[in-house]
Amino acid sequence: MQILMQLIVSGISVGMIYGVIAFGYQLTFATSKTLNFGQGEALMLGALVGLTTVNFLIGNALGNFWAYILMLPVVLAFGALQGSVVEWLGVRPAMRAKSEAGWIMATIALGIIFKNLAENIWGRDALRFPSPLPEASLSIGGIRIQPMEIVVVLGAIVLMVVVELFNRYSIYGKAVVATSNDRDAAGLMGINTNRIITFSYALSSMSAAFAGVLVAPITLTGASMGAVLGLKAFAVAIIGGLSSGLGVVIGGLILGITETLTGYYISTGYKDVPGLLLLLIVLSLKPSGLFGKAAIKKV
Amino acid sequence: MLKIDNLVAGYGKVKVLHGISIHVPKGKTVALIGSNGAGKTTTLRALSGMLKPESGSIVLGSKNITGLTSHDITRLGLAHSPEGRRVFSTLPVMDNLLLGAFPRLTGMRAKGDVDGDINRMFELFPRLKERKAQLAGTLSGGEQQMLAMARALMLNPDVLLLDEPSMGLSPRLVEEIFHTIERLKKATITMLLVEQFAAAALDVSDFGYVMENGHIRTSGEASALQNDPAVKAAYLGGGH
């Protein structure tokens, strides 16, 4: 029982990271029906830019904790900028040409370019990210938890709540929701929907970059950290549904927990299998995701 | 207020509008009538930038709006209540109204009294007030039509385009919608009205244009059109 609880707790923090990245997929899908297949690379770049910033600040006699806090706005701004570039270079031309699939190749290509760029700047080795909090585990009722794991869960929740409040209460947020509802009608309201789509890409990559610096102190950072996370988060987005905010959290937790359970009870070699099997099952039984609204394509 | 000259537009290689000219004077209501497929909706879509015109000119007030994007045209004061209502179904009625005032709330158009205008909309459409917290997608067809009109009016528009406001509604609701249009007309709102109920549309309008296969067949004062034997036979007689 103790071990089971321990595995579930560990699975939760991993799952929340998947959830945040999947949340990023949702943001752009809602407004433009496109996704950034380089989302994992956005996470990786965020983590590495964060690492360089943190090391610079620590080099200037700042403690780990304050260096981490001061690094956050830098990484968030960088993520937003990087997302805007992806939208501008990869997605907008394809949408203008009314290409059904152009954005898929374009965002994958940009992801590869970003990865190569990172390999040349930061090298190919995994790097240690200084943790802002003590790395010793806390023991709560016999279950060991790293302080940073708690930060991951809280940070993920805060990010999603802030975006939800923005959408619900600010006129610009309502404009984002209106664009997701009906792009042409939103244009008739005087909303520049191109700008809304750029914004959703900026927000999406910002979420990924944030996820990157949340997870980096627990794992290691490096140019290759993004690919697997991006793919798994994509599975989460499909399992949870591309239209449901709650869905990605639940989907993330399901995947995170099944992974740690499989890793312990079966074999770490098989830990990716149950999640992907779940993906296949969901795709065949409920293609809009466990929590998604069925998409009816009008002919 | 709105002057359309020799407008040509279509979808890809298929031309729908073959050079139409319409004049909507300030404070007047103009009806655009014609059978299905005549190009009425396409005309409105070309006016509000949902469709790029191929040639011709559209002047709103003193500004040439030909070829501008729909958000720019809206910000300049042209509101469009589109065919099929197109309300934001996952948002509450109140948010739909606020989005109608988006340019006013974001400094792109004179702000005026947004809260006061929302109250005026609730007075004009009391049913929307009862349902203001309800999601627009859960409204009945008639209520959605009222919301689409109220949302367009929230722009404080210089010209209001109404596309088939009576479409798919029960006879009682159709009457209610036309009653509302009369009230808007009394408030001297400049309107271009596209309608399948030609007789009712001409009743509430000052001028009328009859469209056929992408051309303006005839035009004139609404009362004159109502007595024109050819118009009577084709559009007003017996039908609907």
Q: Closest approach of chain A CAs to the CA of B129, in angstroms?
A: 20
Q: What's the whole-model pTM score? A: 0.92
Structure tokens at B204: 């509430």
For residue B99, the chain A residues in CB contact (below 8 A) are 171, 174-175, 178, 186, 189, 191
* C-alpha–C-alpha distance, residues A258 and A11, integer Å: 7
Q: What's the rounded mean pLDDT across residues A151-174?
A: 95
Average pLDDT, chain A: 92
Q: What's the rounded mean pLDDT across residues B94-122?
A: 97
Please give the residue of chain A at the shortest CA–CA distance from B108.
Answer: A190
Which residues sit opposite B14 in a β-bridge?
Answer: B11
Q: What is the pLDDT of residues A102-134, one digit of tens each?
A: 999 999 999 999 999 999 999 999 999 999 999
What phi and psi, each to the nearest 5 degrees, are found at residue B131? -105, 20
In chain A, which ranges are E strands? 138-140, 143-145
The secondary structure of A40-103 as a DSSP string is HHHHHHHHHHHHHHHHHHHHTT--HHHHHHHHHHHHHHHHHHHHHHHIIIIIHHHHHTT-SSHH
* Residue B237 confidence (pLDDT): 65
Residue A297 has pLDDT above 50, yes or no: no
Cross-chain Cβ contact A188/B74 below 8 Å:
yes
Cross-chain Cβ contact B82/A191 below 8 Å:
no
* Pick from A145-149, A166-170, A271-275, B86-90: least confident: A271-275
Please give the residue of chain B at the shortest CA–CA distance from A192.
Answer: B71
Cross-chain Cβ contact B108/A190 below 8 Å:
yes
* C-alpha–C-alpha distance, residues B211 and B36, integer Å: 10
∠ CA B88-A164-A236, rounded to 5°: 95
* Residue A299 confidence (pLDDT): 39
Residues of chain A with pLDDT > 90, as a percent, come to 73
Pick from B72, A28, B123: which is nearest to B64 by CA? B72
Interface contact A189, partner B, CB < 8 A: yes
Higher model confidence: residue A160 or residue A101?
A160
For residue A189, the chain B residues in CB contact (below 8 A) are 71, 74, 99-100, 102-103, 151, 155
Please state the ipTM of this predicted complex. Answer: 0.94
Residue B15 has pLDDT above 50, yes or no: yes
How sure is the predictor about B236, in pLDDT bands with cuts at 50, 70 and 90? confident
Cross-chain Cβ contact A174/B100 below 8 Å:
no
How sure is the predictor about B240, in pLDDT bands with cuts at 50, 70 and 90? very low
Residue for token pair 């560990």: A10
* Contact in structure between A40 and A81 (CB atoms under 8 Å): no
* Pick from A29-33, A206-210, B189-193: least confident: A29-33
Cross-chain Cβ contact B88/A177 below 8 Å:
yes
* Residue A279 confidence (pLDDT): 86
Higher model confidence: residue A242 or residue B130?
B130
Cross-chain Cβ contact A184/B69 below 8 Å:
no
Classify residue A220 by its DSSP letter: -
In chain B, which ranges are E strands? 2-11, 14-24, 29-34, 55-60, 63-64, 78-81, 159-163, 191-194, 207-212, 215-221
- Is the CATH code 1.10.287 the one for domain A2-285? no
* Residue A294 confidence (pLDDT): 59
Structure tokens at A140: 């709560």
* Domain spans in chain A, listed from the N-terminal domain onward: 2-285
**Ramachandran bin of B68, using left for φ above 0, alpha for ψ from -120 to 50, beta for the remaining angles:** beta
Q: What's the rounded mean pLDDT across residues B27-44?
A: 94
Average pLDDT, chain B: 94
* Contact in structure between A218 and A13 (CB atoms under 8 Å): yes
∠ CA B188-B192-B198, rounded to 5°: 110
Radius of gyration of chain B (CA): 17
